[in-house]
Structure 1
Amino acid sequence: MRIRPLLLGTAVALLASACGSTVPGVPGPAPSTGGASSSSKVTIPHSSVGDDFTPGATNQDPAKKIQGIEIHDYATRDHVMTPQRVAYDQAPPFGGRHDAEWAACNGVTYKKAVRTEHMVHALEHGAVWITYNPDKITGDDLAVLAAKVDGQPYSVMSPYPGLDHPVSLQSWGHRLKLDDPTDQRVDQFIKSLRQNPYTYPEPGATCDNPSFDQDNPPPFDPSAPGPDAMPAGS
């Protein structure tokens, strides 16, 4: 699989948060309020992301302007059934085969690492998945990220043990790894890709899933997937 890095096209001034924005004309359900949410709260300076990162008919994938973005056009999105594993070739993965049940992803910050196959399905529904290395991101840094997700539709966050950067953001076919949770590219990624109907396979799919246990989700498995795992696909 070939992933291409793209260069930043436009500098963006820091002013106020744009994380509550969604794509015009694409409705989303009300955020989930129960389950795994962050208890740490701090006052966080937010940034304003300009119109260059607003999706539209003439700007279908604004994320191409984000420095360091990784993009892959995943065609495979077949389902597997729990406990079947997928042999992902990316960590964290950002497309390909996934579990038939999606992780609840309306403003949920999971305190424990979640089974990857469920999280990839949330990307298929238009969510942005923020992951972080729990050995590197704690305290106020963790609260900075949680503030991007708490109460926001099509947004989900979880620790990802062994992550090779402090922070990684995923949407379907897109990934951005960062060293600093306050980097303005976090907001650029969210505005460009959360529920962007031009970049994910199932516009209109819900992020609500009452059958998914937000307080005790299926756990992340750090072991090698084994010879019986399904390939991620391309």
Structure 2
Amino acid sequence: MTPTPSDRPTKRVSGNPATQADIALTVKQQRERQKQEKLAQYQRELAKRRRSKLVWWAVGVAAAIAVIALVVASIVFTPKPVTYDRGDGDGTAIPGVETFENTATHVEGTVAYPQTPPAGGDHNAAWLNCGIYSEPVPNENAVHSLEHGAVWITYDADAVDEAGLDAIKAKLPSSYVLLSPHEGLDAPVVMSAWNAQLKLDGPDDERIEDFLDAYWRSQSVPEPNAACTGAIDGPGKQS
């Protein structure tokens, strides 16, 4: 008996168009499509990595430029260190310089000096480390530094302000110099070396450099070339 249309098996058909398309594709076509999808994904990831590398490269270049700019700025704007030749210990041609004859014996205790601040004389066996001090320092130790060729610049704290101190500091060498306030001065600024002294009207006095030229690291002191570090710090040591 011939089967009727209602008795014939029906072909199963998916209602999802994407599924129907998958069924319609051959195995070879499906593999090819998968291959193309993987290739597209790889290209997307590759492009992403390239963009990331480009960003990091740009950041690295910007950082390098910033570092170079900082180095150049530090070279251009950092003040050059002040240097002086070793003096010969003769500053008598400088207007206002006074000279003395002081002894150079190591003693203990407090010393009564004929000059204020002292410009030589008996002193403590330990010298004062050279540098900048914000408080008065012991005379007996500072004088020992003078014996080694240092120059001691003292100032009246009531007469010299911060701007004035900065003006003095800008003229100082990096070693063999003391800067500190001192009580009982009869001038705003007083410069002392071994057996020599100069009283100044203020921190802008041009004779500061002249005195340093004549007496800084003088070879005429009792102990030329002796150290100005490695001993003791006074109160208020800043540098």
Q: What's the TM-score, normalizing by structure 1?
A: 0.63
Deviation at 1:162, TM superposition (A): 2.3
Q: Judging changes above 3 Å, is the alpha-carbon distance between structure 1 residues 188 and 18 closer, same or farther for their aligned structure 2 residues? A: farther
Give the structure with higher Rg (CA). Answer: 2
Aligned mate of 2:97, from 44, 50, 69: 69
Q: Judging changes above 3 Å, is the alpha-carbon distance between structure 1 residues 138 and 205 closer, same or farther for their aligned structure 2 residues? A: same
Alignment RMSD:
1.9
Question: Which position in structure 1 is the counterpart of 2:123?
Answer: 98
Q: Distance in 2 between matches of 1:178 and 1:18?
A: 23
Deviation at 1:214, TM superposition (A): 4.8
1:79·1:100 contact (CA, 8 Å) conserved in 2? Answer: yes
- Equivalences for 1:1-234 in 2 at 5 Å? 19-23=82-86, 55=87, 60-74=88-102, 76-81=103-108, 84-105=109-130, 108-149=131-172, 152-197=174-219, 199-209=220-230, 211-214=231-234
The one of the two structures with greater contact order (alpha-carbon pairs below 8 A, sep at least 6) is 1
Question: Which position in structure 2 is the counterpart of 1:52?
Answer: none
SS in 2 for 1:168: strand
Q: What's the TM-score, normalizing by structure 2?
A: 0.62
Structure 1 counterpart of 2:97, one-letter code: I
Higher helix share: 2
Superimposed CA distance per residue, residues 149-178 of structure 1 (whole angstroms, 9 cap, x where no aligned partner) = 3x6111111000221100000000000001
Deviation at 1:148, TM superposition (A): 2.8
Aligned-pair identity (%): 38
* Matched positions, count: 158
Higher strand share: 1
SS in 1 for 2:154: strand
Deviation at 1:19, TM superposition (A): 4.5
Q: Distance in 1 between matches of 2:128 and 2:81?
A: 24
Structure 1 counterpart of 2:104, one-letter code: R
1:18·1:191 contact (CA, 8 Å) conserved in 2? Answer: no
Deviation at 1:62, TM superposition (A): 3.9
Q: Judging changes above 3 Å, is the alpha-carbon distance between structure 1 residues 136 and 21 closer, same or farther for their aligned structure 2 residues? A: same
Deviation at 1:213, TM superposition (A): 2.9
